[in-house]
Amino acid sequence: MQLKVPDSVHADETMMLRIVGAASTDRADTASGAAKDGSAPDGSRRRRRAPRPSPLSRLHALAPGPARLVARVASDARRLRPCYPHADRTGWRRWAPSWRQWLGAALTFTGLTFVLLGSAYAATDIPENLNSYATQQDNVYFWSDGTPMARTGWVRRQAMPLKGIPEDVRGAVLAAENASFYSDPGISVSGIGRALWRTVGQGNTQGGSTITQQYVKNVYLSQDRSVSRKFTEAMLALKLDNEMSKDDILEGYLNTSWFGRGTYGIQRAAQAYYGKDVRELDVSEAAFLASLLKGAGLYDPTLSEANHARAVERWSWILDRMVEIGTLPKAERAAYKKFPEPLKRAPGFDTGKQSDYLVELAAQYARKAANISAKEYDLGGYQIYTTFDRKQESALTDAVVKARKKARKDDPAKAKALHFGASSVATDGRILAVHGGPDHREQGYNESNATTVPAGSAFLPFVYAAALEHGVHTTRDGAATEVTPQTLYDGDDGIAVRTPEGPYWDRGGKQVTSRNDGGKSYGRIGLGRALALSVNTPFMQLGMDTGLDTVRDTAERAGLLPSSFGPQVPAMSLGSATPSAIRMASGYATFAAAGKHVEPYSVARITRNGSGVALKKPASRRAVRASVAETVQSALTDAFRTAHPGPATTTTVAGKAGTTQKDTAAWYVGTANSVSTAVVAYRIDLTKSLEPLPLDGIAGSVGDSVPYRIWSGARGIG
């Protein structure tokens, strides 16, 4: 059928066409009541509305290109939208997601995972404070020959800079624990996966950690095994790997790892298993120590045969692994066929006995001379190289122990309160040996450093030196008169002490007199001879003529401490001062050193974690003129020969005994081979008071005293 459009209708007008005859195909709309011709139920005509365009069609009308893209994405999204069950499938497939849905879920999970991990990484901060236990170290003390003497601290750890750890040792550790350490990002994804699987499936987390992760666990985290701790460890390891150099991480790891036998760090492990520093390890020994990182309780070969077999197997594997990763030449590997058996047990330290007295002295000196606070010192990590000579310490201790045993056997009652202080000091100020007591655990205070009893007649050389150095005054305002060894003084017993104005009276109104040992009188006697014979009365007057302040100043310059002096009264010249054995030995060393004095010191150098620590050493200074020191030393040589004519020596020996008027102390101080040694014996009942008791003969006689026996035994004389 052809439609004819009237000429009056324009092309842009809309026409409504109605096909006649189509009424037969229309059906009544009973629900709406509309007529077949579109009229309302009441017979009126109604216009049909055109459908509203969708937002997508409107967008398409405005911008056809973007609209098609959006439409396509929307269509794909509708396809990915789950539609369960699938109408076009049967059986279980009706409920299975399509590949598009699987892909969408995987992409969504991956995206969320990256977002969560990124957020966790950004929120993770490296703690400012390290695990205090992981960084705590012990302090190690060494003899003068460099061998270990003692250690202090709760943790056996000594840090060592990476440059001090040989390449072979580092290579063995990398081969054993983390060959890809220098190229990995700080974590091992496969290792973490294995660890998490074990955590969930078997209740523990074993293995799977890089060196960076293990270091994080050592210094930042606890040792608990959980998924949350493992996650935190991984985040910290990633961040640490970005902020620290690989060398710094490796250094920290080697210094904080557990190696068994109570030790932390490769340095203390080398000492515990092979008795040497890490610098001295060969590659075979290093491979064994690296095996301990897997579990010291399983690989210390001295614990069981099974451990030994495991250790040998892993040691061999590590050497082979080093060849594989290129850190050990194959030819060198072939040379290591025998397992390097470690020591049966770690070298011990003689703690609690004499070494604790030595440690006490060295620690006090080290903190003061290096300006180290108590807090810093207690954190540990210091290597203190002392001046103590192992052989001389042993000889001095043996001599004292022998004397103590004899005293306890001869007179047990008096020997209970008997004490010995002794010390050897070199002319350059080094303290070579001390005897502080029977056992530091039984008696805490150090007898060699105690200022308990008077020096007695052992003080006379200082009076003599002061007079030789400064001269004497016989009148109040007169010029000083020179003194020589031949200068005569009254050596009789009981003579009155005089001043330029007359006799000296004490505060009680009593005239002061001086006494000789045994009440013996010597008449007019030269000062050199008086010192050799230990005649008291000339020196009590000599002190007054020289000036007590001058005598005290000379003694202090020679080495005695100001705190050991009491009132400046005539008795001071006969040794009322109470110096320690160390200070008496130091004072006599000044005379043997031609009048130069060096303050006694017990530490030669200090390092911390391998780096030097600034240490202020005492300087040598002039105490008296060399000629004065030579004259005093000559008199002391005569004193030794007069009292002990028997011993023949190949070196010059000088020394004298010292006694007190109340018999509360017996001394012997002398020098031989440029070493001055002082020994004192006294009695104090520490359960009652600190007041000295009379010796009552337990220290021997003046000619054969116990202090002299100890002195000669320690010096190998007689």
Question: For residues 79 and 171, what is the distance between their CA atoms, to the nearest angstrom?
Answer: 57
Least confident of 165-179, 180-194, 364-378, 560-574: 180-194
Distances (CA, A) of 399 to 394, 409, 436, 707: 9, 16, 13, 10
- CB-based contacts of 413, cutoff 8 Å, min separation 6: none
pLDDT digits (tens, 9 = 90+) for 278-305: 999 999 999 999 999 988 889 999 989 9
Q: Give the H or E element holding residue 117.
A: helix 99-123
Query: HEC profile for 639-705?
Result: HHHHHCCCCCCCCCEEEEEEECCCCCEEEEEEEECCEEEEEEEEECCCCCCCCCECCCCCCECCCCE
More confident residue, 587 or 119: 587
Pairing of strands 382-386, 139-142: parallel
Residues whose CB is less than 8 angstroms from the CB of residue 73 and which lie 6 or more positions away in sequence, other chains included: none
Q: What angle do CA 332, 338, 340 make, to 5 degrees?
A: 100
Least confident of 485-489, 518-522, 635-639, 701-705: 701-705
Q: Which of 127, 231, 143 is nearest to 187 (CA)?
A: 231
Exposure of 155 in the CB half-sphere (CA atoms within 13 A): 21
Higher pLDDT, 640 or 508: 640
d(CA 279, CA 167): 10
d(C-alpha 197, C-alpha 202), whole Å: 8
The pLDDT assigned to 23 comes to 43
- pLDDT value of residue 702: 77
Lowest mean pLDDT among 75-84, 120-129, 371-380, 381-390: 120-129
Instruction: Classify residue 36 by its DSSP letter.
Output: T
| 82 Ramachandran zone, left/alpha/beta (phi>0; psi -120 to 50) | beta
- Residue 15: the pLDDT is 45
pLDDT in tens, 7-48: 544 444 444 444 444 444 444 444 444 444 544 545 455 555
Per DSSP bridges, beta strands 603-608 and 611-613 are antiparallel
Name the least confident of 259-263, 499-503, 649-653: 649-653
Residue 157 near residue 259 (C-beta atoms within 8 A): no
Only one residue has tokens 């009292």, namely 643
Q: Cβ neighbours of residue 621 under 8 Å, at least 6 residues apart?
A: 557, 596, 597, 598
Q: Would you say 196 and 204 are in contact if contact means Cβ atoms under 8 Å apart?
A: no
pLDDT of 256 reads 86
Report how far apart the first and last C-alpha atoms of the chain are (Å, whole number): 154
Percent of the chain with pLDDT over 70: 77
**Average pLDDT rounded to a whole number, residues 440-451:** 86
Whether the predicted pLDDT of 83 surpasses 70:
no
Q: How many CB atoms lie within 10 A of CB 411?
A: 14
What does the pLDDT average to over 343-364?
81
Residue type, 382: Y
pLDDT of residue 53: 63
- What's the rounded mean pLDDT across residues 386-404? 95
- Integer Cα distance of 559 and 624 in angstroms: 11
Q: How far apart are CA 342 and CA 218, in angstroms?
A: 26
Contact 287, 179 (CB under 8 A): no
pLDDT of residue 348: 63
**What is the spatial distance between Cα 118 and Cα 444, in angstroms, rounded to a whole number?**
59
| DSSP one-letter code for 623 | S
Residue 525, token pair as written in the block: 């006697």
Tell me which DSSP letter residue 348 carries.
Answer: P
C-alpha 606/C-alpha 613 separation (Å) is: 5
- C-beta separation of 267 from 278 below 8 A: yes
Rounded to whole angstroms, the Cα distance separating 79 from 93 reads: 16
DSSP helix/strand/coil, 263: strand
What distances in angstroms separate CA 92 from CA 84, 86, 105, 482, one per listed residue?
11, 10, 20, 125
Instruction: Please compute the mean of the pLDDT values over residues 468-489 and round it to a whole number.
Output: 92
pLDDT range class, residue 273, cuts 50, 70, 90: very high
- Average pLDDT, integer, range 506-532: 91
pLDDT at 667: 96
Residue 430's beta-bridge partner residues?
601
Task: Note the pLDDT tens digit of each residue in 651-675.
Answer: 689 999 999 988 999 999 999 989 9
Type of residue found at 508:
G
Mean pLDDT of 52-80: 63
Place of tokens 């966790």: 120
pLDDT at position 613, please? 95
Contacts for 27 with CB less than 8 Å, ≥ 6 apart: 36
Give the range among 10-19, 75-84, 187-196, 288-297 with minimum mean pLDDT. 10-19
Distance from C-alpha of 468 to C-alpha of 676, rounded to nearest angstrom: 22
Euclidean distance between CA atoms 198 and 374, whole angstroms:
46
Residue 45's Cβ-count burial label (10 Å; 0-12, 13-18, 19+) is exposed
pLDDT tier at 242 (50, 70, 90 boundaries)?
Answer: confident
What does the mean pLDDT of the chain come to?
Answer: 83
**Per-range mean pLDDT, top range of 136-150, 157-171, 536-550:** 536-550
The pLDDT, as a whole number, for residue 29 is: 47
